[in-house]
A = this chain, B = another copy of it.
């Protein structure tokens, strides 16, 4: 299943270029927020969003848009703004995850967590403000892209479904419920499919919808995202065992200390690695099955598995 594409594709340059445009879009969204919300809202939101990270969800959204459009034209700014809506949802989940009543983390990506800077109350409240903000961003970006109200409606629906109880939050609650008891592979996958998979599937789906892709292609993009999401999660589990804490920017071995069910604990290290590669290959196959050939999306699928951080 490995093709020449992944080695030929200049992934590092690509990621860097895309991140620049994503950060620009983030800046525009925060400027727009400034006209509407008091500083008490803007400051914690801006702070949490600044923390950076891989920006994987927005990148997947933009790459899917470009893959469907295929034309030589540049990807419009509004697609990057749409893509940021996914990062807003992801970021609020991190702000809440870090709270003292949750994982109780003082640092995220080397900076004090949002509640350490703005207080716990503000972090709880502002965390929830990311969600309607994401809704507004989707509506507005869809408008700027010239999508009809039906297309914008679909984007809103995708976002709500991925963020909500059937998606990310459902996975978080299943995960909380599973704490302290034995979890088998099936249950672990059901948790991941919602907790990280729903948003990682929504990202390329929303890029496809914004580009006017037919339903079948949107489905293919969603399957790609789900498979990539699982590959990414398995790779995370593997890195927690064998990764370099410095490269990762976080302590490793945490899963074992917490006695958490992980892919390496259930499949062994080699079994987990094999499974991650299979998922990445299946992600690429899902794209090709609907006629999408995208060096960027394919490289991203393999990157999910082969990264060292």
Contact = CB atoms under 8 A, between A and B. Distances in A.
A128 B125 contact: no
A33 interface: yes
A143 to B, nearest CB: 9
A133 B173 contact: no
A119 B127 CA distance: 19
A205 B132 CA distance: 18
A37 interface: yes
B165 A42 contact: yes
Given A101-B124, A102-B121, A153-B153, A170 B135 contact: no
Contacts of A19: none
Contacts of A41: 165-166, 169-170, 173
Interface in A115-135: 119-122, 124-129, 131-133, 135
Contact of A153 (B37, B102, B152): B152
B121 A176 contact: yes
- Assembly stoichiometry (copies): 2
Interface in A137-168: 139, 148-150, 152-153, 156-157, 159-161, 163-167
A136 interface: yes
A40 B171 CA distance: 9
Given A100-B101, A153-B152, A129 B164 contact: yes
A183 interface: no
Contacts of A169: 41, 125-126, 128-129, 132
A56 B153 CA distance: 28
B173 A40 contact: yes
B132 A173 contact: no
Interface size class of A (residues with CB under 8 A): 35 or more
A57 B149 CA distance: 27
A176 B136 contact: no
A36 interface: yes
A74 interface: no
Given A149-B148, A156-B156, A177-B40, A164 B125 contact: no
Interface of A: 33, 36-38, 40-42, 44-45, 92, 96, 99-102, 119-122, 124-129, 131-133, 135-136, 139, 148-150, 152-153, 156-157, 159-161, 163-167, 169-170, 172-174, 176-177
Given A136-B160, A139-B153, 17 more contacts: A37-B164, A38-B165, A38-B170, A38-B174, A96-B128, A100-B101, A101-B124, A102-B124, A122-B176, A124-B124, A125-B176, A126-B165, A128-B169, A132-B164, A133-B160, A139-B157, A149-B152
